[in-house]
A and B are shown apart, each in its own frame.
Chain A
Amino acid sequence: MASAAQTVQHRRVLPAPTVTRLRHWTLRGAAITYLVTMIVVPVAAIVTKGFAAGLDTFQEAMASPGAWEAISLTLVASALAAIINAIFGTMLAYILVRYRFRGRGLLSAVVDLPFAIPTLVTGVMLVAIYGPNTPIGKAFGTVGIPLMFSQIAILLALCVVTLPFVVRTVQPVLLELDTAEEEAAQVLGASAWKTFRAVVMPAIRPAIAAGALLAFARGLGEFGSIVFVSGNIEGRTKTAPYFIFQLTNQFKPDQAAAVATLLFAISFGLVLVTSRLVRTERKEAKS
């Protein structure tokens, strides 16, 4: 009976706990090296370059034509798109969770489409149907509303690209929501709308906020679709990411880094805040 155990014993050189500890540290080392070299180093490059010459570089960059317009346009357009998608996203999440209809699975897949399609192709698609040479584009053109190569185009592109965010944050919350509370409200005489406002809304409000913030952060950095549909007109349809792109191509990497650091700081801050929001939501829901 002891022989089997003894044969195995001879094979091993180090006692088991040491082997385990070695394995732990190799894995940990690999993970840390991966994240540090692939993420920390590039971010450090941006941030150090951005702060290198201090505020002067930033001011220089912002003195370029159309700089301030680009930043404000990016902020405003992303915010608007986030709000629009907060409304429609909530509606979509609601019907996907609560309603039964044919094609519900298909609808769910369609909502995820912007995550799969290249952003550039999104831009191409928009121009293909709303461009100045299309029936729809021409129709709006005669009324003086240019759908493409305008600020509307930017808003539209951002709406497409950030569509899934609010749906995805609200859906799981709605799924976990116990309908008993809504039923209680209805028994007490509340109308459907009042029930929604009093029972459902408070529960999903943080999820909507988280989704909207993520959509906003995503919109700030959007490039692929906007570079195609906006026309990149200085002072009118040039966005912050395009501005950074321009500065880089003009061999002004320090200015580009300054603007990029600002943009990144805003986005990363938002992502951290929403991560914590989502995590506390999930903990509360579990309890």
Chain B
Amino acid sequence: MSVVLGPPRLVDVTPGGEEMRRRGRRRALVRSAIVAVCLLYLTVVLLGPLVGIFLSAFREGLPKIGETLTSPDVRHAFFLTFEITIVTLLVTTTFGAVTAWVLVRHRFVGRRILNALVELPLAMSPVTVGLACVLLFGRGGWFEPWFTARGIQVIFALPSMILVTIFICIPFVIRSVAPVLDELGTEEEDAARTLGASTLQTLFRVILPNIRWGLFYGIALTTARSIGEIGAVLIVSGMLKGQTETATIYVLTAFEERMDAEGYIVALTLAAISIVMLLVIEISKRRKIKEVMG
């Protein structure tokens, strides 16, 4: 057999060029495969379920949604969640900022223990938190007699629900402000003082502007967590309908009472609120990282 040689074709004559292109293609394929696997996993665990809840909430149409969201039970549930969240924010932000300051700037015996204490709520199951509240304020609890004597209802009422939510949210502001404060250092403060700024002036003009993203990040996390709390709040609430039902408890009881549509609708609303919070979280996280990097 004779081989017929045609006219020479113009081909890339780089030695090994063919091999390099093949390897490049393989690498690109591997990359796409990895990304695909990750996307698949995320679809299974997150994106799919999001679609699911969206569809389920809209199954009975818009009017049902309007009806549910304006019903007194739902409105009261959201209002209660809102109340709890506001108080939690106020307490954990102010005391959290002060605690972060003390932990970063002060040196004293027991500081390391205090630091470990801050991590504690993250390690506790919410049911345990609820149980602790019962042990303290329930019948026969440590503090129960004091409050009963003054006619203050703690357990099965708003105060206990606030307390457990505060407990659970304590670490967030502290852990997000502390590293930013640490990186900031004391030089700008010292400079401000030499220029005549009082403590308050230094706080508002120098320190707060520099830690604001750390603060916002902590606040955003606290808000999301506080809105979403179920375990602890369920135990201490007593589930008195229309009185101690938060938005999350409402969802639970709605499904228990076979009011699936209402359950899905309120759940979707909560998901939507969380996604908005997520945006705030992401933005402040990115700015906060810049603050920590200096």
Contact = CB atoms under 8 A, between A and B. Distances in A.
Interface string A110-144: 11111111111110111011100010000000000
Given A120-B228, A120-B230, A128-B55, A260 B282 contact: no
Contact of A23 (B121, B136, B199, B224): B199
A31 B125 contact: no
B136 to A, nearest CB: 5
Interface residues of A, number: 81
Interface stretch (B1-9, B14-22, B67-75, B271-279): B271-279
B119 A92 contact: no
Contact of B281 (A43, A101, A116, A217): A116
A241 interface: yes
Given A30-B95, A45-B132, A267-B124, A124 B50 contact: no
A105 B31 CA distance: 18
Judged by DSSP, the binding face of A is helix
Contacts of B131: 46, 244, 248, 253, 256-257, 260
A224 interface: yes
Interface in B2-39: 27, 30-31, 34-35, 37-38
A31 B106 CA distance: 11
Nearest to A101: B35
Interface in B179-224: 199, 221, 224
Contacts of A223: 125-127, 230-231
A117 B135 contact: no
Nearest to A47: B132
B55 A34 contact: no
Nearest to A274: B119
Interface in B156-185: 166-167, 170
Given A45-B136, A109-B282, A38 B170 contact: yes
Interface of A: 23-24, 27-28, 30-32, 34-35, 38-43, 45-46, 49, 88, 91-92, 94-95, 99, 101, 105, 107-122, 124-126, 128-130, 134, 156, 159-160, 163, 192, 217, 220-224, 227-228, 240-242, 244-245, 248-249, 253, 256-257, 260, 263-264, 267-268, 270-272, 275
25 contacts: A24-B106, A27-B98, A34-B99, A41-B136, A42-B132, A45-B141, A95-B34, A101-B35, A117-B224, A119-B230, A120-B228, A120-B252, A129-B52, A130-B49, A130-B52, A160-B45, A163-B45, A224-B248, A227-B252, A245-B130, A248-B134, A260-B125, A264-B125, A271-B122, A275-B116
